[in-house]
Amino acid sequence: MTKSGQGETNRRGRRGSAAEQDGNEGKGQAIRERILDSALDLFSRHGFDGVSLSAIAKHAQVAQPHPYYYFKDKASLWKAAISPPFEAVLQQIEVEDDLKDLNDHDRFGVRLRRIIHASIDNIAMMKIYLQESATPSARLDYIVDTYLKPIHASLEGEIHALARKSGANPAFILAGVVGAIHFFFGTSDLLTRLHGLDVADADTRRAYIDFIVDQVLHATLGR
């Protein structure tokens, strides 16, 4: 038998053992959730290449074979781990009934604030996004195509409408928001050293969101 064949046989064996250890579906689901939580935490702190399935199993306090049983490979686990927080942001793109009577400017402000809140409240997700944004990869393509493009498309009409009224470049509006979020998380240690800010503090994050959205709305006021 070839080495690759032996490896696949061993992996199937590990999956079978994990299934036997799980005992029932409820316990198996709990183990799967622990693996996903640990994966999200470790990927956000060390990046995709800095994390092994063995490290995730150890962090989740499960047997070493479990990640192999529940997920095809590390890439599949990465996608499953980042899905819940990104999906939480994606859910904010619908035009809610409570906003239908607002004008373009006010509706954009409320929706933008909700999307940014959903993003910043998921610190692990933001760290993963920052890491993957640094270098072109299939993972970055996946994040952009699956999550970021739909979010951008949902705001694009309002951004262009406000840009026409204000004379602002629509790309600058989006870049201003994205850049502000990147800076807040990408320089968290610097902000702590210089200003004593705790980026993980909920009140600090919300105050920063309000500041950024107010600046964007001011820039898109009709001139």
pLDDT of 36 reads 96
CA pair distance 111, 103, nearest whole angstrom: 12
Using alpha carbons only, what angle is made at residue 64 by residues 60 and 70, rounded to the nearest 5 degrees? 75
Q: Are 69 and 19 in contact (CB under 8 A)?
A: yes
CA pair distance 94, 126, nearest whole angstrom: 21
Nearest CA to 44 out of 131, 114, 112, 118 is that of 131
Tell me: the pLDDT tens digits for 68-79?
899 999 999 999
Tell me: the pLDDT tens digits for 139-189?
999 999 998 888 888 777 778 887 887 788 888 887 888 788 778 877 888
CA distance from start to end of the chain = 74
pTM comes to 0.74
What is the mean pLDDT of each successive set of 10 residues along the chain, which is 223 residues long? 48 48 68 95 94 96 92 96 87 68 80 78 81 91 91 78 81 80 80 88 85 82 59
